[in-house]
Amino acid sequence: MSSLDTSVTTSAGDTVVTVSGEIDLAVSAGLRRTLEEELRFSPAALIADLSAVSFCDSSGFTALVQICSQAEEAGVPFILVTRERALLRPMSLLGLDAVFTVHPTLDSARDALAR
C-alpha cells in the first residue's frame, strides 16, 4: 500500500502543496482532491512541490494534468517543483514537459511568478 503525505502552506503570493512519498493509483485521487480543494480558493498561484516524491505512475500524471487544466480554466498558474529524475524522465517521455511548468526549486518557481 502506498503512502502519500501532503501539507499546505498559503501566502499572499501562492499556495504550496508539498507532497512526499509515491504517487500511484492508490493515492492519486486523494492528491487530485487536495489540489482541487486548494484551487477552489482561487490562489494567486498553485504550486505542487514534488521534491520529495520518489515515484509517479500514469494515474498520478493524469491527476496532475487534470489539475493543470482546471487551473488554466480558472486563470491560476500551476507549477510543479521537482528535480527528481524519477519524475522528470517520464514527464519528458510522455510529452508532459510541454504541458507543465516545472522548476527545480520552490525559490525558482516563486522567482518566475514574480516576473
> Where do the structural domains in the chain lie, given as residue ranges?
4-114
Fold exhibited by the domain 4-114: Transcription Regulator spoIIAA (3.30.750)
pTM for this entry = 0.95
Q: Where are the alpha helices (DSSP H) in the chain?
A: 28-40, 58-74, 85-93, 106-114
Per-residue pLDDT of the chain (115 residues; tens, 9 = 90+): 567 999 999 998 999 999 999 999 999 999 999 999 999 999 999 999 999 999 999 999 999 999 999 999 999 999 999 999 999 999 999 999 999 999 999 999 999 999 8
Q: What is the pLDDT of residue 39?
A: 98
Cβ distance 52 to 82 under 8 Å?
no
